[in-house]
Amino acid sequence: MTDLPTFERSPILPNEVEDKEIWQPRWHCFCCQDTGQIQAHLVSLIIPDYDHNRDRIPVCQGCNKFDNYHLKEYGVLDLRFDLYICKKLDAIARDGWKKTTEQQFEKYKKQLDIATGQIAQAHSLAVANRTSNDEREVQQRKAEIEAISPQEWKAMNESYLVGKKDE
């Protein structure tokens, strides 16, 4: 055993923001995701054998977010990607994002449909397994509940759930 401490996770964003990120990204430019550096999978559409570890950094001309222009002095930036190419790459990335989200929605919809079907099937089995005596008892209890007046509901609420006022 080691004497190392154990930490709990410390997320930067709460879960609802992380979940929202799946469906609606925070960036505006899909070409570079607001970093100024064109995403490697998009660069490979223009430079098929692109190696992000060895090749120059392709700079997005669509949003002008790249803020390391001091690197220009060292010749490490690839400025061949003009506005037209960046806009085309942005459109390709947006389309890919749209298709991905549609697939995710379809996946979740299928899961929901399966779960709903299982619940309905379980309910119908429970109803089908009732005897006529059970069914009569269910209908009688339902009628009794429906016959309770609003005043009686209020009295029961105060008595059982809220507690008596004099206690």
In this prediction, residue 89 carries a pLDDT of 93
**Where are the chain's structural domains?**
15-107
Q: Give residue 107's pLDDT.
A: 87
Angle among Cα 16, 21, 22 to the nearest 5 degrees reads 105
**pLDDT tens string 116-165:** 878 877 777 777 777 888 888 888 999 998 998 989 888 888 887 776 55
For 57, phi then psi, to 5°, come to -80, 115
In tens, the pLDDT along 1-47 reads 578 777 787 777 656 544 444 567 788 899 999 888 899 999 999 99
73, 41, 76: which is closest to 59 by C-alpha?
A: 76
Task: Round to the nearest angstrom and report the end-to-end CA distance of the chain.
Answer: 55
DSSP state of 93: H
DSSP SS3 for 78: strand
Which tokens sit at 68?
A: 């390391």
Assessment of whether the complete model's pTM goes beyond 0.85: no
pLDDT in tens, 90-113: 999 999 998 988 888 888 888 888
CA distance 125 to 44: 55
The tokens describing 142, both together, are 């339902």
Residue-wise pLDDT tens digits, 36-77: 889 999 999 999 999 988 898 898 988 877 766 566 667 788
Between CA 100 and CA 108, with CA 105 as vertex, the angle to 5 degrees is: 125
